[in-house]
């Protein structure tokens, strides 16, 4: 400690291999691009091949090293294939950034058990499967690793119509804590979550109308005075993937602009 080289390396993810799920979404694509611009080799995955190709093309044009593979993070065989692809393409896997998500808001009396289960599979089971096979790969390498899991502010706050989503994200937060107990001491794999509130995407754009009651109600509980942009989460995602977070594991990190504080 005490020199600039130490600090530069502390926050560096240069030449690390990062797997980013949900890479076609607003948050996933921002994290993938952020990792790529920081010098990581990025594997993009999601279910839409055309969109994956578009994100990969943008990243390559910006000078990033990346590749993509189609797959569903809730399907075990797909996850095995994705992790193997990461190793085959870039030689190893150092960072898992799980940025995918799904919701179908409905009251408990209106939502079928099958639809509730689909939310649980997409948002909770998928994290278990990804963590399992990513951890196995990282353990074989013997170098430790980082898992950065996108959860939600709703993991600790109920909401009408969100019985599936809140339950799944609450499970993710507790899973992150348990994964840290399983993986950090023995294998040097740090596991943490980012818990955002509303951030801009195609699905949430309507909430960003500054004249709307929805926007005004949000601002009453957000001290930073605005809703989130995908770029707001890139710094935290890089920090949790770098050596700067080596002493942090099992944490659920607020990325809500202060929403949890109010």
Residue 56 to residue 24: CA distance in whole angstroms: 10
Cα–Cα distance between 161 and 137 in angstroms, integer?
Answer: 38
Catalytic residue among 35, 133, 162, 165: 165
Q: What is the DSSP letter of 242?
A: S
What pLDDT was estimated at residue 2? 65
187 catalytic, yes or no? no
Cα–Cα distance for residue pair 111/261, rounded to 1 Å: 31
Q: What are phi and psi of 190, to 5 degrees?
A: -90, 135
The pTM of the whole model exceeds 0.75: yes
3-state helix vs strand vs coil in the chain, percent to 5: 50, 15, 30
Give the number of other CB atoms < 10 A from CB of residue 107: 10
Start-to-end CA span in the chain (Å) = 37
Average pLDDT per run of 10 along the chain, which is 262 residues long? 79 97 95 98 97 98 98 97 98 97 88 93 96 98 97 81 87 97 98 90 79 83 86 94 98 88 78
Q: What is residue 1's predicted lDDT score, i.e. its pLDDT?
A: 60
């Amino acid at each position: 400690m005490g020199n600039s080289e130490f600090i530069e390396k502390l926050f560096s993810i240069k030449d690390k291999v990062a797997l980013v799920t949900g890479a076609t979404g607003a948050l996933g694509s921002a994290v993938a691009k952020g990792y790529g611009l920081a010098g990581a080799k990025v594997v993009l995955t999601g279910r839409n091949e055309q969109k994956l190709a578009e994100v990969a093309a943008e990243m390559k044009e910006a000078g990033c090293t990346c590749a993509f593979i189609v797959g569903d993070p809730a399907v075990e065989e797909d996850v095995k294939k994705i992790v193997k692809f990461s190793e085959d393409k870039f030689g190893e896997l150092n960072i898992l950034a799980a940025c995918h998500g799904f919701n179908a808001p409905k009251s408990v009396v209106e939502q079928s058990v099958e639809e509730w289960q689909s939310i649980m599979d997409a948002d909770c089971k998928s994290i278990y499967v990804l963590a399992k096979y990513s951890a196995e790969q990282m353990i074989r390498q013997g170098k430790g690793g980082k898992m950065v899991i996108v959860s939600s502010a709703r993991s600790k706050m109920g909401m009408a119509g969100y019985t599936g989503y809140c339950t799944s994200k609450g499970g993710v937060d507790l899973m992150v804590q348990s994964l840290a107990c399983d993986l950090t001491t023995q294998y040097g794999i740090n596991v943490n979550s980012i818990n955002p509130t509303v951030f801009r995407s195609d699905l949430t754009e309507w909430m960003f109308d500054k004249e709307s009651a929805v926007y005004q109600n949000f601002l009453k509980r957000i001290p930073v005075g605005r809703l989130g942009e995908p770029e707001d989460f890139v710094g935290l995602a890089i920090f949790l993937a770098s050596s700067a977070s080596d002493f942090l594991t099992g944490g659920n990190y607020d990325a809500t602009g202060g929403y949890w504080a109010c």
